[in-house]
Structure 1
Amino acid sequence: MSESQAVAVDTGTTSRELELVLTATQLERVREWTLQEDGVERFAYMYCEPTENRLLVREIDPIPAEDCAVMESSAVRPELSIERERLGDAMSDGLVPIMVHSHPFSQDPGFSALDDNIMESYRDWLGQLYPEVPLGFIVIGHAGVDTAIYTDPSTPRREKLPISVVGEWMLETPLDAPKVERDRSIDGERYDRSIRALTDTGQKHIANTRVGIVGLGGLGSMVALQLARFGVQDFVFADPDVVERSNLPRIYGATNSDVGRQKVNVVGEQVARANPEATVEAYPARVQDVPESDLSNCDVIIGAVDRLDARLYCNEFAIRHLRYYIDGGVAIETDDSGRVTDERGLIQLVAPGANACLDCMGRNDAEHLRIEEMSEEEIEADIQRGYLEEDVVAPEPAITPLNGQAASLITRQFTKLITDYSPPADFIRFDGLDDGLVAVGTHPSEGCISCSAGADLASGERSFNRKDLVGGDGEIEVDFADPMDAPGVDSADSQTIDQSVVDQSVGEETGVSEGTGSASQPAPEPEPKPKIRGKAVSSQENESGEKELDVPEPEHGSSDRSLAGALFTATQRAVRERSEPLTLLFLIAVVLKVLRGRR
């Protein structure tokens, strides 16, 4: 970089207030642009969506030579007019700019005295105009980076900006960068055997990882208990259902006295018993009703649900917040005589922007979503008319061993993801009858309506722009800064479950929660909910640990790239979230698009 004035106050510490998050694909693009063979320094902007304590990289903007005031082997800086334009646009859009330049002559670079001066000149300039917007800098070399962040640009104090790369195992060269410092302690004696396999560092990574589990039935409960015994200490649970008698063989630890109780509470107590250090934030609600801030703080989200709307919501949520999503489930097929003809399970890891998401692989089905939104009366009427098969509401077969196999595969994926001891697979399919297991790699579909650049990737909390909806200065005003502010949308309440809750329940005279009956007199079984089988779309465990639909084998490039497809999918998303005002809004948008196209 070039010219300037004062010198910054570099504390040498890593920021605990902010973390930069980008995908492996984005990082490789920055490397390709800035580290070219000619040895010339190059410059790029990163525009980031701020979400609480994370900066999500939405866009990479390389600055070509013709837009630079200087670009040589020892200095680079854009023209002043380019700086004003790019930075002004970013600030106006509510984005945080990160300025990146390269030291192509270095493996692990550090900021030079010249860099210090130029960063201070930026701070002095932009800190007066935008004192509440953080200001970040990166110098990149062939293996590592140095970083700086002014969380308060009105002062010269700066820290190192920690970086997290989604899909880091896919990089050709690992990135040496500052990391978020977390300080949970671990019991070395308790986890001695795990530490011998995963190292002390790996076990600490597990303890410091917050996990969200959606669906606490047969599969979800097994995953929760495995992770608790493995050392995870921080959970968020979401499931609106209560324990039924038919769940007891598959929900570990559940007894007759738990019938009628919320699944999240029953499994939460089992988790606290298995790991005294664990805390569970339990939401007896649909995942769509969990406060966005609580779910977005989960490092990994695990889905064990039967409803397609919930599964696609988790997929989209992970994409918007650059969080990992592990989607898993099982299915058993029988013939007319009751003989098992197929046992299978599917586990898919979604690393947003780095591999394929559920939409990339065509794991969305409008007909199945339509059936999910139908009432029992409407389903029965369609069956009578012959529009649906009679077995559409029939319970699905389910057995504990198959759930256990899928749960262990999910836990293995989690372990590889968090401890880095081996790269996780993108997609796993196992055959319960032939004991076959196939793991394949996936890649994002170009133009995917969910995870491609310019779609939902790194967009943070849900918001709506009227220009996006109607293609210009339309007549619809929509601006929900927080999705919970939208009409008709309420956030769910949670209960915190830890060892103290377990101790209290043990000390109670009967040990039975209100409304669940006694050990000898179990509570009445709740009315069973219809299990939708419908059209085969994906093999996914349900919230009762019971059924899952089939999924086509991975097909790349299967996303609908048309405008109509994008609008239709947006309508689907509104339906997933069961928001009637948003559904109506999107339908209006479709009509306006059609009318504009006919002019």
Structure 2
Amino acid sequence: MSGLRTLQGTCRSLADDLLAATAAEACAIGYAHFDPITESWVLAEASPVDQSAYVSRTSTSVCLHPAVLVDIANRARAKRLSPVMIHTHPHAAGRPVFSLIDDAGEKEMKAFFDRRAPQARPLAMVIGPQGLSARRLGLQTPVDVWEVGTGLTLLSDEAGGFQEGDLRHDRQIRAFGRDGQQMIARLKILVVGAGGTGSATVQQLAYLGAENVTIVDPDSVEATNLNRLIGATAADIGTPKVDVARRAILAVNPKAAVQGIVGDIIDGPVAGLIGGFDFIFLCTDSHASRAVVGQAAYQYLVPTIDLGVSLTVADGLVSHMTGRVQMLAPGLPCLTCTGALNGEQIRREMLTPTQRAADPYVLGAHVPQPAVVSINSTVASLAITMFLGAVTAMPAQSRFQYYDGVRGTVRPTAAAQRCGCIVCSPSGALGHGPSWPLPVRPAGAHHV
């Protein structure tokens, strides 16, 4: 379970409002989109209740009018949302914990919501001066709360620390701290594409200490892949690329939880898994897959790093060696805003084999592009460093970079979000979770 995702600043702002100038407990109501496939939530909104909503308030308890709960249940049922019942423990030291009073009150609320909004999966959250905790309402099952923006922060930390005697990661712990190492280990990471950049990314994640990695790729190893597919040998020809990637991770960390999915991310059943991950590396040159994952990054609040490599050859000579690394997350421009997607190419890649054969605008076979392992590895390293800047104390601030192999430069670049963008703006897919469809390939169209 990936927990509850919130836009950067939402919980902190709410905590400031609720804890300001009062010694009594205070309440807020949130509503979240629940994804039953991945059992995760995306917070749609949250705000403090009006003063008239309270029956009573003390420093250790708070009670809302029954009519308020009726309104919450009615809205949750009508909008197919899950309530998030939020209150404060203003005198808590450290991360707050739920009290026995909370336990009793939640049982009654859960029974009420089960009757009035049975489709909902309500949550409870308690906020204190030094942190917050969340759980399934009435079930006492802890739920992680993530803040997603230019970085990824775990606001509720239920995980244990690393062993003091763990020397494997000692040198990098000295760089970004034990908390950073713990974050890398607990993240559920999805790598889309196990080819050139994907295999290099997977290798570096393994050495960093990532312990929960899923790799998605529809293809098997071919002889022409062996010049750049890290970890592959001639004996792997015909083997799914995800199996090679899985083997590479387990060779470094046999205890890691690694899953390989032989499938295409643009197909609905595979794309439907995206909401269950905490971070994504998008390592594919397919415009269709980048469109699907790129929208999901904002829709489900799953920060994603897109990697791209291009070698241009003219008259037998290399004229350009370029790479791009772009983080996709709330507050940052999407691939549509930066002009990185080709609509016609997306259309072609979404066609079934029969449709593709009949389409007068699809001419000839796919022409393999030049690829060199060193360029792929350079771009993968830039992406991994960007990832470290987003999830640890590593001061890597750039979220959009261009690599020029001819000039030997790495250049950070700035881009703006387009007003009203259908992908990354509040009026588009941002934060809508499973309530919006993803632009997946029509059912029955299979990868070839």
Match of 2:125 among 137, 141, 156: 137
C-alpha deviation, 1:59, in angstroms: 2.0
C-alpha deviation, 1:445, in angstroms: 4.6
Q: Which amino acid aligns with 1:418?
A: V
* Number of residue pairs matched by the alignment: 436
Q: Which amino acid aligns with 2:335?
A: L
- Structure 2 counterparts to residues 183-202 of structure 1, below 5 A: 188-202=166-180
Report which stretch shifted further, 300-309 or 310-319: 310-319
CA contact (8 A) 1:239 1:286 kept: yes
Per-residue CA shift, 1:455-475, capped at 9, x if unaligned?
5444444677xxxxxxxxxxx
Per-residue CA shift, 1:190-228, capped at 9, x if unaligned?
333223323333333323233221111111111111211
- Distance in 2, matches of 1:372 and 1:253, equals 28
- Distance in 2, matches of 1:377 and 1:19, equals 41
Per-residue CA shift, 1:419-446, capped at 9, x if unaligned?
2332543211121111222224566555
C-alpha deviation, 1:111, in angstroms: 8.6
Residues 358/246 of structure 1: CA separation in 2 closer, same or farther (3 Å cut):
same
CA contact (8 A) 2:214 2:258 kept: yes
Per-residue CA shift, 1:219-247, capped at 9, x if unaligned?
11111112112222332111111222221
**In structure 2, what is the equivalent of residue 326 of structure 1?**
305
Report which stretch shifted further, 45-54 or 159-168: 159-168
CA contact (8 A) 2:84 2:122 kept: no
Q: Based on CA coordinates, which of the two structures has the bigger radius of gyration?
A: 1
- Distance in 1, matches of 2:98 and 2:281, equals 43
**In structure 2, what is the equivalent of residue 481 of structure 1?**
none
Residues 393/162 of structure 1: CA separation in 2 closer, same or farther (3 Å cut):
closer
Q: TM-score, normalised by structure 2?
A: 0.79
CA contact (8 A) 1:242 1:260 kept: yes
CA contact (8 A) 2:422 2:428 kept: yes
**In structure 2, what is the equivalent of residue 271 of structure 1?**
249
**In structure 2, what is the equivalent of residue 410 of structure 1?**
383
Residues 135/458 of structure 1: CA separation in 2 closer, same or farther (3 Å cut):
same
SS at match of 2:382: helix
Per-residue CA shift, 1:491-532, capped at 9, x if unaligned?
xxxxxxxxxxxxxxxxxxxxxxxxxxxxxxxxxxxxxxxxxx
- Distance in 2, matches of 1:124 and 1:218, equals 52
Whether 1:217 and 2:199 are equivalent positions in the alignment is no
Q: Which ranges of structure 1 fall in alignment gaps of 5 or more residues?
A: 1-16, 465-569, 582-599
- Percent of aligned pairs sharing the same letter: 25
**In structure 1, what is the equivalent of residue 342 of structure 2?**
365
Q: TM-score, normalised by structure 1?
A: 0.61
**In structure 2, what is the equivalent of residue 255 of structure 1?**
233
**In structure 2, what is the equivalent of residue 27 of structure 1?**
11
- Structure 2 counterparts to residues 473-484 of structure 1, below 5 A: none
CA contact (8 A) 1:301 1:326 kept: yes
Per-residue CA shift, 1:51-102, capped at 9, x if unaligned?
455432122245456x645899989877654442134322554433223456
- Distance in 1, matches of 2:327 and 2:338, equals 12
- Structure 2 counterparts to residues 140-219 of structure 1, below 5 A: 141=129, 144-147=130-133, 149=135, 151-152=137-138, 162-167=144-149, 169=151, 177-181=155-159, 188-219=166-197
Whether 1:421 and 2:421 are equivalent positions in the alignment is no
Residues 107/139 of structure 1: CA separation in 2 closer, same or farther (3 Å cut):
same
Residues 56/396 of structure 1: CA separation in 2 closer, same or farther (3 Å cut):
same
- Distance in 2, matches of 1:276 and 1:112, equals 37
CA contact (8 A) 1:160 1:178 kept: no
- Distance in 2, matches of 1:372 and 1:42, equals 52
Match of 1:84 among 70, 78, 81: 70
- Structure 2 counterparts to residues 156-555 of structure 1, below 5 A: 162-167=144-149, 169=151, 177-181=155-159, 188-289=166-267, 291=270, 295-335=274-314, 337-351=315-329, 353-373=330-350, 393-440=366-413, 445-453=418-426, 455-461=428-434
**In structure 2, what is the equivalent of residue 127 of structure 1?**
110
- Distance in 2, matches of 1:151 and 1:18, equals 17
C-alpha deviation, 1:301, in angstroms: 1.4
- Distance in 2, matches of 1:147 and 1:187, equals 29
CA contact (8 A) 1:186 1:203 kept: no
CA contact (8 A) 1:19 1:180 kept: no
